[in-house]
């Protein structure tokens, strides 16, 4: 019976080789909730916000401060409200 073991050294060598090649794409997937688990201290936002926190941040940056001249973001959100779509959902 063969026993499979995790060889951290082999994985690090493979990762180092992959990162050194500029022609091979690489991606890292951070699972849901992982960034929220990093404690940034009382009163500080998480390292990477959850989807609702990210949506609030984007809205605060893109929303026009002058209602006379709505931004493209304001127009998009108004259109979503008229179609009864959930404006907080990132999977529109």
pLDDT, tens digit (0-9, with 9 covering 90-100), for 31-69: 666 777 777 888 887 777 777 777 888 888 899 888 788
The answer to whether position 36 is within a domain reads yes
- Full residue range of the structural domain in which residue 52 is found: 9-82
pLDDT more than 90, % of the chain? 0
Is residue 26 assigned to a domain?
yes
In a domain, 4, yes or no: no
| Helix pair angle (72-82, 51-62), 10° resolution | 120
Contact criterion met (CB below 8 Å) for 18 and 25: no
The SS3 call for residue 41 is coil
Q: State how many domains the chain has.
A: 1
Residue 33 lies in a domain: yes
Banded model confidence at residue 91, pLDDT cuts 50, 70, 90 = low
List phi, psi (to 5°) of 25.
-70, 150
The answer to whether residue 92 scores a pLDDT higher than 60 is: no
């Amino acid at each position: 019976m063969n026993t499979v073991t995790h060889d951290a050294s082999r994985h690090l060598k493979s990762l180092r080789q992959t990162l050194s090649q500029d022609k091979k794409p690489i991606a890292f997937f951070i699972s849901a909730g992982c960034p929220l688990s990093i404690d940034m201290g009382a009163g500080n936002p998480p390292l990477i916000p959850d989807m609702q926190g990210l949506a609030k941040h984007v809205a605060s940056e893109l929303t026009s401060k002058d209602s006379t001249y709505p931004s493209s973001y304001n127009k998009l959100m108004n259109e979503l409200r008229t179609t009864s779509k959930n404006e907080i959902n990132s999977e529109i």
